[in-house]
């Protein structure tokens, strides 16, 4: 009988969190979701349960609420299903918003993680997978970025992720039994192939892919391409887009690594390939038949010209590599968007009871 592990997944109702829940459940883990539903959706959790054929408890709460976390850890222990590890997604993640509201980002992302780590230690939980970002690298000194690239974020959001990585590294030095795997995401896009869950940003999206799919369904008039004069092949920004299901499966591999032994590890989750804005538009048109209208616009403050990952450490250490290409990212993201033009909102995914069920 395989030993099952019970995981606390903070922020599980979000874009990356919900896709990761599907893969964790498919891999045989039991999960408990903890989410304040500021960004995530209860409907997303209901659909994760339908997709996985498994139900799981969901507790509404904020990672900065130590008492709520203590109650959750204690209740799981009383139920005979103590938390074995934590997958920590809960955070604010918009770069421009972090420039406008830095204190909110330090409070949610840094203070929130400190409160979570303190509650984990009180409960005797010493395994963590942390959702970090390639934004911690800042301006590339060399490309592709590998995990030894200097950490030099250029915005408050990136600084919060770098600070948490520092905290985890120091904690693992101080507590030899603690295990922390920090995952540096590149650019996650697309959706689960079922079209049932996907990215559902509140308001006009900041990021390229959800913006272009909103243009493609006619909700937004056209895409502004921020900068066409970068030192790249076609002058537009180059990024390492990774299918959100590949990213989710990377979390399963990272969790297995965290459960296998102590220590701090930082790993890139990317494909190792760079795609420009215009190349993504062309791939989207080829995959969906929809030519997204666009116009050149000035560069966006803080943007870098090009970024892509060296993905070799993830393959060597975690036995994971991305397998889905840009065409699949476009086709799967389009299926979600066309089936849910208004995201989860149309599904009556408003406030529901928070006790127990999403």
Residue numbers of the site for ligand WQD (CB under 6 A)? 93, 95, 133, 135, 185, 187, 206-208, 211, 223-227, 237, 239, 277, 300, 303
* 29 versus 137: smaller Cβ distance to ligand WQD: 137
Point out the catalytic residue in the list 137, 145, 157, 185: 157
* 32 versus 216: smaller Cβ distance to ligand WQD: 216
* 106 versus 226: smaller Cβ distance to ligand WQD: 226
* 237 versus 272: smaller Cβ distance to ligand WQD: 237
Closest approach, Cβ 5 to ligand WQD, in A, equals: 26
Residue 127's nearest CA partner among 281, 310, 251 is 251
* 144 versus 237: smaller Cβ distance to ligand WQD: 237
* 76 versus 182: smaller Cβ distance to ligand WQD: 182
Show the 3-state SS of the chain: CCCCCEEEEECCCCHHHHHHHHHHHHCCCEEEEEECCCCCCHHHHHHHHHHHCCCCCEEECCCCCHHHHHHHHHHHHHCCCCCCEEEECCCCCCHHHHHHCHHHHHHHHHHHHHHHHHHHHHHCCCEEEEEEEHHHHCCCCCCCECCCCCCCCCCHHHHHHHHHHHHHHHHHHHCCCCEEEEEEECEEECCCCCCCCCCCCCCCCCCHHHHHHHHHCCCCCCEEEECCCCCCCCCCCEECEEEHHHHHHHHHHHHHHHHHCCEEEEEEECCCCCEEHHHHHHHHHHHHCCCCCEEEECCCCCCCCECCECCHHHHHHHCCCCCCCHHHHHHHHHHHHHHCCCCCHHHCCCCCCCEECC
Closest approach, Cβ 224 to ligand WQD, in A, equals: 5
Query: What region does 181 belong to: left with phi over 0, alpha with psi -120 to 50, or beta?
Result: beta
Nearest residue (beta carbon) to ligand WQD: 237
What's the token pair of residue 174?
């101080």
* 57 versus 250: smaller Cβ distance to ligand WQD: 250
Closest approach, Cβ 189 to ligand WQD, in A, equals: 8
Closest approach, Cβ 76 to ligand WQD, in A, equals: 29
CB 267 within 8 A of CB 131: no
Distance (Å, rounded) from C-alpha 25 to C-alpha 20?
Answer: 9
CB 20 within 8 A of CB 49: no
Closest approach, Cβ 357 to ligand WQD, in A, equals: 29
Whether 157 is catalytic: yes
What's the token pair of residue 200?
């559902």
Closest approach, Cβ 6 to ligand WQD, in A, equals: 27
Closest approach, Cβ 290 to ligand WQD, in A, equals: 16
Active site residues: 157
């Amino acid at each position: 009988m395989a030993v099952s592990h019970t995981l606390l997944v903070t922020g599980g109702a979000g874009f990356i969190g919900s896709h990761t829940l599907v893969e964790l459940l498919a891999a045989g883990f039991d999960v408990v979701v903890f989410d304040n539903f500021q960004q995530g959706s209860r409907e997303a959790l209901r659909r994760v349960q339908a997709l996985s054929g498994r139900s799981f408890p969901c507790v509404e709460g904020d990672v900065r609420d130590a008492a709520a976390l203590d109650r959750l850890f204690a209740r799981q222990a009383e139920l005979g299903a103590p938390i074995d590890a934590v997958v920590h997604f809960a955070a604010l993640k918009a770069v421009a918003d972090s420039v406008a509201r830095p204190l909110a980002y330090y409070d949610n992302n840094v203070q929130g993680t400190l409160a979570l780590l303190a509650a984990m230690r009180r409960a005797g939980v010493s395994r963590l997978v942390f959702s970090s970002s390639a934004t911690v690298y800042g301006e590339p000194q060399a490309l592709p970025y590998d995990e030894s690239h200097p950490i030099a974020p250029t915005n408050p959001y990136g600084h919060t992720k770098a600070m948490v990585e520092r905290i985890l590294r120091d904690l693992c030095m101080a507590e030899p039994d603690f295990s922390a795997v920090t995952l540096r995401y590149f650019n996650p896009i697309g959706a689960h192939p079922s079209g049932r869950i996907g990215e559902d940003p509140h308001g006009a999206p900041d990021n390229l892919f959800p913006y272009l799919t909103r243009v493609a369904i006619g909700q937004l008039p056209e895409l502004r391409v921020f900068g066409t004069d970068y030192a790249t092949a076609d002058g537009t920004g180059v990024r390492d887009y990774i299918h959100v299901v590949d990213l989710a499966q990377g979390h399963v591999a990272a969790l297995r690594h965290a459960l296998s032994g102590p220590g701090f590890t930082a790993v890139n989750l990317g494909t190792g390939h760079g795609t420009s804005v215009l190349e993504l538009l062309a791939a989207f048109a080829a995959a969906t038949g929809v030519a997204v209208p666009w116009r050149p616009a000035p560069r966006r403050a803080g943007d870098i010209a090009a970024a892509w990952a060296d993905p070799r450490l993830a393959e060597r250490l975690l036995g994971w590599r991305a397998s889905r290409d840009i065409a699949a990212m476009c086709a799967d993201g389009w299926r979600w968007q066309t089936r849910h033009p208004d995201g989860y909102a149309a599904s009556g995914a408003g406030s529901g009871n928070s006790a127990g069920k999403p």
